[in-house]
Structure 1
């Protein structure tokens, strides 16, 4: 009877370990996917210069996009590596890997807290830069002497057309644009027009 109780106790402990391993692997799987998403998004921002974020945040001496890309790549790499270590440690039951995994989890938590504080402190600056850059694009839109900016305008057109909006807040923002033939014109992307030109009546 004592042996039976001991066996039952061992089975309960083994079952608990299996349940813990299962949840740990599910948890790691979610974070592994998150790590890959952050890595992919960081690489996309870094190398694809024909997206809205790149065009809005890469003007002049503004290096904000490069910083965002590096931060995403760093966080994505750490999360991916940590999740892989945790997965191997739990499956193969290697104590060293599990200790490493716990250490990295603490490091990731502290880093995320620090980044959250930094983002909170810089949110006004980022918001202002974003708004200023959009206002600049709206003012320059359709200027024949700035043909190199056409990819930016095309992206703005795509955003306005797909989101059915006009300007950052509303259509009145286009009043500041001096490249129209007359003051009543607005971008064709603000209308349902299929004309391939910058402004429509």
Structure 2
């Protein structure tokens, strides 16, 4: 097979894998944005955790870099510019190292992140419904977790006895947030916030298991995308290496062909003189 034909085949496959690379990169970028900015997700409670911020920032930057590097790869492959392809390969190595760092932090700090989340949940339960606390966003997220996971408190409904508002009531027994009730909420008569109710028809299961499952599923999703991206990058690196070799071979064959044509033209000139 001619070098020119090999170059066209390698360019096609490199662009296909580069397209998949862009899609996975945008997905990882989206994960970083979600962790950093989504206020409707329970991950907001980790906003004070430097480890999770490092992971989110790493995913955010990797996603942006992937898009930029893909553009370099497309131009280099389409125009057959060896310098851009080599630059592209260098960036691939840097991105892989960045991904390994983020993955390493995520795995090593996993237990620390879980413990930090547990502490945050306990603190939210204590301050829930306290006027002037300024954490209403956290409260809504906790309500969503309790309502959709059919649970109450982190380790059980009795944990709500530690709540500042409930413990301040003269008769705080059987008072819980409305999200703890498995039916309509029996609102407290004097509670203008409509956040608490009184009754025994509540979820007995704690939310810790649901929280840990949520963390595990989302962590596995991120690691899965990360592993897929690494595999694609290895294929891209190999294809880029072969493409550079064949571009060089194509240029060499073109020079030999031109030299042969020049020699043939010179020989034709001499024959005419003869």
Q: Which SS does the other structure have where 1:179 is aligned?
A: helix
- State TM-score, norm by structure 1: 0.75
Go from structure 1 to structure 2 and tell me whether the alpha carbon gap of 1:199 and 1:151 turns closer, same or farther (over 3 Å shift): farther
Aligned residue in 2 for 1:4 = none
- Unmatched 5+ stretches in structure 2: 186-193, 200-274
1:52 to 11, 18, 42: 42
Matched, 1:75 2:51: no
In 2: Cα distance, 1:30 partner to 1:138 partner: 44
Structure 1 residue 74: Cα displacement: 1.5
Q: Once the two structures are superposed, what CA deviation does each residue of 1:42-82 show, in whole Å capped at 9, x if it has no partner?
A: 3454455565323x1235xx545543442222111222222
Aligned residue in 1 for 2:2 = 10
In 2: Cα distance, 1:173 partner to 1:94 partner: 65
Matched, 1:31 2:7: no
Greater alpha carbon shift after TM alignment, 100-109 vs 63-72: 63-72
Aligned residue in 1 for 2:173 = 183
1:164 to 133, 147, 150: 150
Tell which has more relative contact order, 1 or 2 (C-alpha 8 A, sep 6+). Answer: 2
Aligned residue in 1 for 2:239 = none
- State TM-score, norm by structure 2: 0.57
Q: Which SS does the other structure have where 1:23 is aligned?
A: helix
Provide the aligned length of Structure 1 versus Structure 2: 187
Cα RMSD between the aligned structures? 2.9
The structure that has the greater radius of gyration is 2
